[in-house]
Amino acid sequence: MLRPCDAAFLERLSASLPSDTLAAPAPRYLEEPRGRMTGQAGAVALPRNVEEVSVILRACHEAHVPVIAYGGGTGLVGAQVGQGDMLPLIVSLERMSAIRQVYPTENVLIAEAGAILADVQAGAEDAGRLFPLSLASEGSARIGGLLACNAGGVNVLRYGNARDLVLGLEVVLPDGRIWHGLNRLRKDNTGYDLRHLMIGSEGTLGVITAASLRLFSRPVVQGAALMVVDSPEAALRLLALAQARLGEGISAFELIGGMGLVFLAEAMPHLRQPFAAAPDWMVLIDLGLSADRNATDALEGLFAAALDQGLVHDGVIAASLAQRKEFWNLRESIPEANRHIGAISSHDISLPLSAIAPFIERAGQGLAQIEALRVNCFGHLGDGNLHYNVFPAPGRDRASYESLRDRIKTFVHDLVHQMGGSISAEHGIGRMKAADLVTYGDPVKLAAMRAIKDALDPHGIMNPGAVLMQQEMKRE
């Protein structure tokens, strides 16, 4: 049985900590960024170092008080928002925001969990290196949370997901013990990979307090192009052609549906549109090359070859870094335009690459049978990751679709599942998709997860109700 983070518990805990470590939880700790959930908490703890995190977790473990580890609060699946009848202690890592050390020769940077992603990127840049994790919320998302949910973003195609950028971790386990695993090794086969188990476990198995992160050489030559393709199928063939010609030089390959441009024109008319008539499909290709190469040549060569194969029929290559930025600004404004229009339902999904085009076709047909709808489908095509968002028909508002929301969501998720895809590509499960994980997840995997959870967190104090549903998680 969990017990509340009440005054008596807080009084006992405060005796073991510096006086300003515990505070009443400001509203910002209790709000989900899109306003879809509001949480509750007995207090927020603001530890300054791993030892204080250890003291806090040991006390919660002994008292059976639930803990929610808190990063930048930018997660989109409610993993950071306590729900139900529990009263948790929020442990915010915001005071542990140091970049402890940069090792340029090793291409390694050690950051505390509370370091903001943009600061880590800047720390790498100051050392002449690149930390490639990049996503919309990088100005407020913190490393601990980004690793807890194995964040994705726009550079996964080239550099991998967040987990692929981690060499080592420092983690406080649920009972307060500290795992000192901050190594800086590229190869280390000494036992089970706890690092990857902690990454993506969304605060349910421990609190990440620091990470040693991989850095990369900064691509010296950059370039980008927008190319108009007939279909998602053609976009995928263009990707294969680009990979064959340019190898790892492709940093991002983003699919943009015509509806995205329509929404942009409506919501943000000041943005310059790249083509006179909005194409049905286009891709944004971003290159990062070594010093001896020329991005414009590479993109022109790719475009010519793609034209020969009938894969593209229009395109524009960025003539300057400013224009490249403009292309990216267009891409990154789509979520804002979406918010302006107001989605009925949003889906962060992934599919095997060869299922993407059939999925888009079948999903469009199926939704049309439910009701008149608009779909804005865009995303990280190279990773098979679509943001598939469903909107009201023109002139209608989303309230009129309220009764259809569940049906739409279930239709999309069923189809994704049937086609071998994932209902959470890069956002995680949190609380919003915990029931979906029971529906669509492999039951043997779920049972193994539950066994691991019970083994490492026997009282079930770590982020109860996230990832594993609470009744599934602990049957005392």
In whole angstroms, how close is the CB of 291 to a second copy at the nearest point? Answer: 6
Residue 100 interacting with a second copy (CB under 8 A): no
Residue 475 interacting with a second copy (CB under 8 A): no
Phi, psi of 356, rounded to the nearest 5 degrees = -65, -50
Residue 150 interacting with a second copy (CB under 8 A): yes
At residue 172, the 3 state secondary structure works out as strand
Residue 471 interacting with a second copy (CB under 8 A): no
Separation of alpha carbons 281 and 283, rounded Å: 7
Q: Indicate the DSSP class of residue 462.
A: B
Residue in 48, 64, 95, 245 binding a second copy, rule: CB under 8 A: 245
In whole angstroms, how close is the CB of 32 to a second copy at the nearest point? Answer: 17
Nearer CB in complex with a second copy: 341/423: 423
Structure tokens that stand for 73 in this block: 């609060």
In whole angstroms, how close is the CB of 423 to a second copy at the nearest point? Answer: 7
Nearer CB in complex with a second copy: 75/274: 75
> Contacts with a second copy: how many residues (CB under 8 A)?
98
Residue in 23, 24, 122, 185 binding a second copy, rule: CB under 8 A: 185
Cβ atoms of residues 141 and 117 within 8 Å: yes
In whole angstroms, how close is the CB of 395 to a second copy at the nearest point? Answer: 35
Residue 260 interacting with a second copy (CB under 8 A): no
Separation of alpha carbons 98 and 120, rounded Å: 9
Binding track, positions 415-454, relative to a second copy; x by CB under 8 A: -----xxxxxxxxxx---x---x--xxx-xxxxxx-xx-x
Nearer CB in complex with a second copy: 30/285: 285
Separation of alpha carbons 41 and 90, rounded Å: 7
Nearer CB in complex with a second copy: 233/314: 233
Please, what is the end-to-end C-alpha distance for the chain in angstroms? 7
Separation of alpha carbons 80 and 242, rounded Å: 39
Segment lying near a second copy (by CB under 8 A), choices 62-70, 81-89, 119-127, 145-153: 145-153
Residue 96 CB-half CA count within 13 A? 30
Residue 222 interacting with a second copy (CB under 8 A): no
Residue 384 interacting with a second copy (CB under 8 A): yes
In whole angstroms, how close is the CB of 429 to a second copy at the nearest point? Answer: 6
198-217 positions binding a second copy, by CB under 8 A: 199-201, 205, 217
Residue 183 CB-half CA count within 13 A? 11
Residue 186 interacting with a second copy (CB under 8 A): yes
- Separation in Å, CA 435 to CA 309, 467, 471: 45, 9, 11
In whole angstroms, how close is the CB of 102 to a second copy at the nearest point? Answer: 12
Enumerate the H helices of 93-142 as residue ranges.
Answer: 117-126
Question: In terms of DSSP bridges, do strands 207-214 and 166-172 run parallel, antiparallel, or are they unpaired?
Answer: antiparallel
In whole angstroms, how close is the CB of 192 to a second copy at the nearest point? Answer: 5
9-38 positions binding a second copy, by CB under 8 A: none
- Separation in Å, CA 8 to CA 5, 12, 26, 88, 218: 8, 6, 20, 14, 52
Residue in 11, 193, 397, 406 binding a second copy, rule: CB under 8 A: 193
Residue 463 interacting with a second copy (CB under 8 A): no
Residue 230 interacting with a second copy (CB under 8 A): no
Nearer CB in complex with a second copy: 81/295: 295
Residue 56 interacting with a second copy (CB under 8 A): no
DSSP character string of 242-287: HHHHHGGGEEEEEEEEHHHHHHHHHH-TTSPPSSSS--SEEEEEEE
In whole angstroms, how close is the CB of 309 to a second copy at the nearest point? Answer: 14
276-315 positions binding a second copy, by CB under 8 A: 288-293, 298, 301
Separation of alpha carbons 184 and 107, rounded Å: 9
336-365 positions binding a second copy, by CB under 8 A: 350-354
Separation of alpha carbons 458 and 174, rounded Å: 9
In whole angstroms, how close is the CB of 21 to a second copy at the nearest point? Answer: 23
Cβ atoms of residues 66 and 60 within 8 Å: yes
In whole angstroms, how close is the CB of 402 to a second copy at the nearest point? Answer: 27
Cβ atoms of residues 243 and 287 within 8 Å: no
Cβ atoms of residues 274 and 330 within 8 Å: yes
107-136 positions binding a second copy, by CB under 8 A: 107-108
Separation of alpha carbons 476 and 471, rounded Å: 10
In whole angstroms, how close is the CB of 97 to a second copy at the nearest point? Answer: 24
